[in-house]
Structures are given as C-alpha cells and as structure tokens.
Amino acid sequence: MALKTSSYLILGLVRGGMNSGYAIKRFIEEQRMSVFWATTFAQIYPELSDLEKAGYLTHREDPHGARPRHAYTLTAKGERALMSWLRRSRIPPMELRDEGLLRLAFADNLSRKEAISLIRRLRARSEEAEREFRESIIPTGEALQALGLRYPLVIGRMGAEYHAWAVKHFTQLEAEVLDDEPR
C-alpha cells in the first residue's frame, strides 16, 4: 500500500493518542488542522481500515454507548513508516486551496463596489479566524504543551499570525481600491 499524506496524518494522530476516527476528526477540527489539511469522516474511516489491513495499525474493541468503536494503535510497521516520513529531507511544495482567494483572483470582473465587498468579506473571515486561533486553538495548544506536545501550539500561533497578516493585507488592499478611480 502506497501511503498518502492523509495516511501519515492518521498515523501521527494515532501515535499521539487519538485512537478512534471520532477522536482524530475532533482533534483536526479543534486544532484547526483543516486549515492546512482538510479531512472528513468519509476519508478517515476508510483510511483507518486500509492502514489496518496493510499492517500499519491494529485495533481493539472499545465500546462507548450504543455504537461499536475501535481503539487503534500503531504497529511497529506503522511507527517505522511515520518516522521515515517525518525524517524525509524533501518537503513538497506548499499547496493552498482557498476559494476566497480564487474569487479575489477574478475580482477584476466585478464592479469596484463588489470588489470592495469581497475584500471586506475576506478580511472579516480572517478576523474571525484570528480570533478563533487566539481564543481557542492557542489555549488548547498551551494545554497540550503542558502534556509535552510543543508543536500544536507552534501551529496555532502561526495560524493566528497568518490571519493577523491577512487582516492587515486586506485592509491595505481595500484602501488602495477605494483610492482608485471609479470604473
């Protein structure tokens, strides 16, 4: 089985103690990992099954309530695969998929008023994201740091700083567009 990046995401989270599909999805959402690696339950559960069939994970039954639940752990093969991936020297190029920025790329097709409205919505989105990072993700990262996990806090801070930069950028862009001659 050729492992995908999502496979390594799951192996890393299982190694970090997120031992069920639900715990994996919740961690991704709480830490806003979806900002840089979106994942759904429809991707997580088949991937868990594939990783187990390929010998990277094993599970035990862990019933909670009416639903059956599996608690996954890494096998030695899973540990080797994860550590090999983490240690690779090549970092692939960054991919950024953002429909808002895609719309901005085509904003020349809008009226000046519509372009300004789009820029304001993008700024508001980043203001909300920055607030969420500062009020929720960073405190969660600080709690995880107390448990010995350093890098969730690093990623949380990077997210907050990125959105603070984006707010500044969109504010500046709005001022420039407002100063332009009307179309």
Least confident of 29-33, 82-86, 90-94: 29-33
pLDDT at 40: 82
- Convert 77-114 to b/e letters by CB count within 10 Å (16 or more is b): ebeebbeeeeeeeeeeeeeeeeeeeeebeebeeeeeee
* Predicted local confidence at residue 182, as pLDDT: 62
Dihedral angle of Cα 173, 176, 177, 179, to the nearest 10 degrees: 160
CB 183 within 8 A of CB 112: yes
Mean pLDDT of 27-52: 86
3 state SS of 151: helix
For 97-144, write each residue's pLDDT tens digit. Answer: 899 999 999 999 999 999 999 999 999 999 999 999 999 999 989 998
- Does the domain spanning 5-87 belong to CATH 3.40.30.10? no
Flag whether pLDDT at 29 surpasses 90: no
pLDDT for the residue numbered 167: 98
Distance CA 36, CA 24 (A): 15
| 183 has pLDDT over 80 | no
pLDDT for res 105: 96
DSSP state of 3: P
Q: pLDDT-based confidence at 38, cuts 50/70/90? A: confident
Task: Find the mean pLDDT for residues 6-19.
Answer: 92
The C-alpha angle 43, 47, 52, rounded to 5 degrees, equals 160
CA dihedral sign of residues 26, 27, 30, 35: negative
Across all residues in the chain, what is the average pLDDT? 91
Alpha-carbon distance of 43 to 32, in angstroms, equals: 17
Contact 45, 68 (CB under 8 A): no
The residues spanned by each domain of the chain are: 5-87, 99-179
The model's pLDDT over 52-90, given as tens digits with 9 standing for 90+, comes to: 999 999 999 877 777 778 899 999 999 999 999 999 999
Percent of the chain with pLDDT over 70: 97
